[in-house]
Amino acid sequence: MQKITLYSLATPNGQKISIALEEMNLPYEALTVNIMKGEQFTPEFIKVNPNSKIPAIVDPAGPNGRPFCVMESGAILVYLAEKTGLFLSKDPFIKSETLQWLFFQMGGIGPMFGQFGHFFKYAGEKCTHPYPVERYSTEARRLLGVLEQRLDGRTFLVNEEYTIADMAIVPWVSCLDWGYKAKEHLRLSEFPRVNAWVERVLSRPKTAAGMKVCPFN
């Protein structure tokens, strides 16, 4: 099988895809796109992703056997799951539940956690008003509460099956600690089921390996 080319950086959105590639045993070549240096705006990368965002992939054996570019991390996860038949059930009920939680990440956790991290960690000198941090802290905790309730009696987000929904969400939740250093601020200890789920997911060797692809340094 020809190697998929992954354009990425070890942000939560980037980690989703490297986790999937590792877990699905797909051969791939990882190319780091340093968004701190503006490499996402090069003409070469724009040909792969017109929106100039990581991650993106090029599958040399795409539909009809032709090279195929895929942008948007949620779309990439679905594409890879359907390509391999892994981590996205064909059962319509389980598939729908998986996609619901994937879209929960895309529409809620990703944007809200990202805004929280921006104002909490990176914008302190540019925005001294407390409102943004208060707003996004409250919303981050609300979303963590949704996960906490969902994980009551479940090993993974969709019953006992590890799916692309888990792959999408775990990098964002873990980033609250290792990336934004907000463990105490958000009182993450108040979400024991979420913490246990993060530990459970990251104990998977291939998921752990995927988290380390295209590091910042």
pLDDT reading at 1 higher than 80: no
pLDDT reading at 159 higher than 90: no
Per-residue pLDDT of 21-66, as tens digits, reads 999 999 999 999 999 999 999 999 999 999 999 999 999 999 989 9
- Reported confidence tier of residue 5, pLDDT bands at 50, 70, 90: very high
* Residues ≥6 apart with Cβ < 8 Å to 84: 24, 26
Per-residue pLDDT of 164-207, as tens digits, reads 999 999 999 999 999 999 999 999 999 999 999 999 999 999 99
The pLDDT of residue 44: 94
The reported pTM is: 0.96
pLDDT reading at 142 higher than 90: yes
The pLDDT of residue 94: 96
- 23, 82, 155, 159, 169 from 96: Cα distances, Å: 21, 14, 18, 13, 16
Distance CA(14)–CA(132), nearest Å, equals: 25
The pLDDT of residue 54: 98
Per-residue pLDDT of 90-134, as tens digits, reads 999 999 999 999 999 999 999 999 999 999 999 978 888 999 999
Distance CA(183)–CA(211), nearest Å, equals: 19
The pLDDT of residue 15: 98
Structural domains present in the chain: 4-87 (3.40.30.10), 92-204 (1.20.1050.10)
- 128, 135, 186 from 116: Cα distances, Å: 14, 8, 10
The pLDDT of residue 66: 94
